């Protein structure tokens, strides 16, 4: 990050650790001091590409590549109008074609390909879908609403947990103060030896520490006025039960691996090499296949 440099004043991050680079719609970075000087009237031209810029459109640079910064800025602007969801289309293919059209528009504006034709396409789309654009801006998508519910539930759960922990800490402090007052009173007014009183209170304190404190339970069920979604129906079908596959060869039963070795079937079978074993091949596979072909159909 020390090689960051302002293209105008050539100030680097090494010489000025507090250097802050800002970017605009063109994607070229300028330090905050150069922005103050060049855009003192509120607007001006980029010193690199000479595109007219406004001072209030500068933001902190996120990426080192100017093309990526430009694409991010263009994508945000385009998606404000091209805000259709999958529910707005009759089929998935139409939705995919729409997404491809959006990416083509962003690519053309980012790399300067057919800019005038692309802008006219955008204006025509805005006129034809004005009501739908406003409608989609005013409503949250299903995923956005679900995420917002999760965030809201998590925030309320965290707040409730912090409240319970704070109350528990207050109770602990109050109990410690009470025990201390009781100890002082006993030492002051009791006739028992001080050592006996201290040991008694110490044992009581240890027993209190050994007692398990009830865990902080947060039972929170978010209630919302948004659209309620039905729970996923439970599958009532029986669970899968494995049954060994039965293959009818119409012949004598095949010997298992132990009999293949003990009865000498593998005596004339070439041993598998290390590379073949690494791939999962064993010598008994070839032997089993030969026996299967020999015994298959003898009872037919």
**How many whole angstroms separate alpha carbon 280 and alpha carbon 45?**
67
**Which domains are present in the chain?**
13-61 (3.30.40.10), 71-138 (no CATH), 144-209 (no CATH), 257-297 (no CATH)
Three-state DSSP class for residue 21: strand
**How many whole angstroms separate alpha carbon 242 and alpha carbon 275?**
33
pLDDT, tens only, 112-153: 888 899 999 999 999 988 888 888 877 766 667 778 888 988
Helix ranges (DSSP H) in the chain: 32-38, 66-81, 92-111, 115-128, 130-138, 142-189, 194-210, 257-262, 274-278, 283-295
According to the model, what pLDDT value does residue 14 have? 83
According to the model, what pLDDT value does residue 234 have? 65
Q: Quote the mean pLDDT of the chain.
A: 82
| Dihedral angle sign, alpha carbons of residues 255, 261, 264, 266 | positive
What is this structure's pTM? 0.43
According to the model, what pLDDT value does residue 123 have? 92
According to the model, what pLDDT value does residue 217 have? 52
Low-confidence ranges of the chain (pLDDT < 70): 1-2, 140-143, 208-235
């Amino acid at each position: 990050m020390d090689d960051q440099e302002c293209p105008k004043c050539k100030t680097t991050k090494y010489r000025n650790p507090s250097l802050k680079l800002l970017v605009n719609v063109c994607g070229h970075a300028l330090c905050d001091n150069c922005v103050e000087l060049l855009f003192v009237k509120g607007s001006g031209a980029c010193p690199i590409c000479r595109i007219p810029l406004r001072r209030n459109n500068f933001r902190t640079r996120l990426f080192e590549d100017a093309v990526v910064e430009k694409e991010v800025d263009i994508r945000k602007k385009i998606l404000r109008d091209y805000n259709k969801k999958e529910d707005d289309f009759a089929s998935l293919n139409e939705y995919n074609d729409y997404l491809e059209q959006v990416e083509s528009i962003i690519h053309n504006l980012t790399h300067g390909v057919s800019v005038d034709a692309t802008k006219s396409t955008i204006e025509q789309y805005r006129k034809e879908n004005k009501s739908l654009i406003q409608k989609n801006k005013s409503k949250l998508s299903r995923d956005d609403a679900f995420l917002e519910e999760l965030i809201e539930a998590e925030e309320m759960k965290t707040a409730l947990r912090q409240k319970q922990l704070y109350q528990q800490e207050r109770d602990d402090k109050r109990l410690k103060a009470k025990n201390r007052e009781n100890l002082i009173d006993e030492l002051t007014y009791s006739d028992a030896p001080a050592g006996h009183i201290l040991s008694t209170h110490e044992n009581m304190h240890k027993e209190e520490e050994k007692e398990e404190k009830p865990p902080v339970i947060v039972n929170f069920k978010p209630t919302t006025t948004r659209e309620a979604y039905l729970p996923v129906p439970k599958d009532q079908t029986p669970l899968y039960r494995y049954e060994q596959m039965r293959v009818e060869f119409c012949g004598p039963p095949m010997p298992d691996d132990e009999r293949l070795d003990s009865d000498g079937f593998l005596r004339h079978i070439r041993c598998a090499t290390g590379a073949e074993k690494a791939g999962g091949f064993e010598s008994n596979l070839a032997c089993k296949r030969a026996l299967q072909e020999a015994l298959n159909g003898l009872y037919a």
